[in-house]
A and B are shown apart, each in its own frame.
Chain A
Amino acid sequence: MKVNGVAIDDTFAEAFGMSATGLVITADSMKWARIAAETMCGFGTSVIGCGAECGIDCEVAPAETPDGRPGIRVLIFGFSPDALLPQLRNRVGQCVLTSPGSACYNGLVSDKTLALSAGPRFFGDGWQTSKRLGSHRYWRVPVMDGEFVIEDKCGLTTDGVGGGNLLLIGTDRAGLLETTEAAVEAITKVPDVITPFPGGIVRSGSKVGSKYKGAVASTNDAFCPTLRGATKSELAPGTISVLEIVIDGLTSKAVADAMRAGLTAATAIGTSKGLTRISAGNYGGKLGQHHYHLKDLVA
């Protein structure tokens, strides 16, 4: 299939069920809310090596945040609730609690919850106090610029999806990056999803396993342009760059919507900046519960 001159592979992205939570981080200004959120999401690209996949979902207007200040919604994905909890505590404790003027609230309405404050609140060394307002309980932790306010619990979903993906393949490295950036930009407008890698883009797609003991993943040689001819390559002559967008979402529909948005944005640019083909990564369909067929998303 071709859309605006771009070949769309007859394949699918294979994604996995994950646990996830959402937070709203506020501060005196959007600048500082974003600093806290970005710091918290640092080193949060892949559960394989980082323990969690984290990213910014969206900005939250002051009228929509619990304390009426500018906010950022962050999503965090992990293998399980048990794996998510220590990541949540450490990231909030080290990166949000420490950020000037910050406060941290639940950003996901759900019957299932995680103990968001268990950990950070004990920084108060006994001076922490709680304030229950309606059904919400907040902790006030004295810190050097006033008080750090953190909600007691945050919502948890075990219906999250991690690993939705698109592979953008092209003949112009700089042009392909611009096209991929446009796709990521379109994906950021879809609610309830993140693209956890740097700038939303992965240049080092991986395959499962390695020739080396202890390495659980290694370079996806079939998609490395410099190995074309030396390995069983998936790339056509002239291809010099492949960039991947990995998408995590709170629901399967959100991931599908995000992939659709990325595909639409990329194919709208077409071949003008070197994009020749769009594919997706999978493991033969045997590992992940969620399959997103590209042909269903470009219709």
Chain B
Amino acid sequence: MSKVFIALQTNEASRCIVQAILADNPDAIVNRQPAMIKIDVPDRMVIRRETIEEEVGRPFDLQEIHVHLISLSGHVDESEDEFTLSWAR
């Protein structure tokens, strides 16, 4: 099975995004490197707006992720509520 990943800059906003990813993807593997964090998940990763909003305590537009994003892999699917990366189709 292939892994998908997302890498984010380490800052205050992404700390909350990372918490949300870990909550929604129990198989996530976290790899912390200087100034960045890389999260790998087997096959499919889902990033949910509601979970991030619980973490940041304010309304959150999923496209805000673009500001903190470093890289990703897998097929992207984006809606208001979910941002998913997957190899399965």
A and B from one complex: no
| Chain A residues with a Cβ under 8 A of chain B | none
